[in-house]
């Protein structure tokens, strides 16, 4: 063995240790990131009502977090409820029930925003912005993902529209103005 062999062997071992230390750190960070993503996925699932793991993963990859999903989820509800220019008690209750089913609770920022929308009608720009966002988002989702999101969001909006139930519970359950908003929401999905 040459006199430098011991030094090279020692440096080689240090190099290996450093490599594996850095590799372990990288793997540890990946594990932490996966855990954060799982928590985000859980929050996204609670907010959206979507349970399909592949769809949730796609939404996360598009950087759609629980707060963004909150807006996506709540805007259709509130727009349908205010479609005729006023919000009756049945509509308000339907909006609150749908928001609770989506995991919204008192104390959350999204819930506070929702409460303000229940007392004051949002500006028309809100619906326009939502429609534009959905149009952009739909190009990023697969057909199955788009249909699932559409079904979830429009189903909840329709339940709010049907809450008032016509005159004395008879006749059309959805008014013409609510039907127009539902149509706008649906058209956004293409």
What are 60's two structure tokens?
């996360």
| pLDDT tens over the chain, length 190 residues | 445 567 767 766 666 666 666 555 665 566 555 555 556 778 777 766 677 788 788 777 877 777 777 778 889 999 999 999 989 899 999 999 888 877 777 887 778 888 888 998 988 888 998 898 899 888 888 999 899 889 989 999 999 999 876 554 555 688 899 999 999 999 999 8
**Spatial CA neighbour of 83 closest among 116, 51, 127:** 127
Query: What was the pLDDT predicted at 77?
Result: 93
Cα-Cα-Cα-Cα torsion 12, 15, 20, 23, nearest 10 degrees, comes to: -140
CA 95: distance to chain centroid? 17
Alpha-carbon distance of 61 to 190, in angstroms, equals: 22
Query: What was the pLDDT predicted at 74?
Result: 87
If you write DSSP's letter for every residue of the chain in order, what string do you get? --TTHHHHHHHHHHHHHHHHHHHHHHHHHHHHHHHHHHHHHHHHHHHH----HHHHHHHHHTT--HHHHHHHHHHHHHHHHTTTS---HHHHHHHHHHHHHTT--TTSHHHHHHHHHHHSPPPHHHHHHHHHHHHHHHTTS-HHHHHHHHHHHHHHHHHHHTSS-SBTTBS-SS-HHHHHHHHHHHHHT-
Query: What was the pLDDT predicted at 102?
Result: 73
Lookup result for tokens 């349908």: 80
Which pTM does this prediction carry? Answer: 0.68
């Amino acid at each position: 063995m040459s006199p430098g062999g011991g030094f090279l062997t020692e440096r080689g071992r240090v190099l290996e240790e450093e490599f594996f230390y850095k590799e372990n750190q990288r793997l540890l960070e990946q594990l932490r990131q996966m855990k954060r993503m799982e928590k985000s996925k859980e929050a996204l699932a609670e907010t959206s009502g979507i349970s399909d793991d592949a769809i949730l993963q796609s939404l996360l990859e598009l950087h759609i977090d629980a707060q963004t999903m909150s807006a996506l989820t709540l805007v259709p509800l509130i727009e349908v409820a205010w479609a005729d220019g006023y919000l009756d008690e049945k509509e308000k209750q339907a909006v609150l029930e749908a928001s609770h089913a989506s995991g919204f609770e008192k104390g959350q920022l999204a819930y506070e925003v929702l409460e303000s929308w229940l007392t004051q009608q949002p500006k028309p720009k809100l619906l326009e912005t939502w429609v534009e966002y959905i149009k952009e988002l739909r190009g990023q989702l697969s057909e199955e993902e788009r249909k699932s999101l559409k079904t979830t969001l429009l189903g909840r909006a329709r339940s709010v529209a049907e809450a008032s139930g016509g005159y004395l519970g008879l006749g059309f359950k959805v008014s013409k103005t609510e039907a127009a908003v539902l149509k706008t929401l649906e058209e956004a999905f293409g």
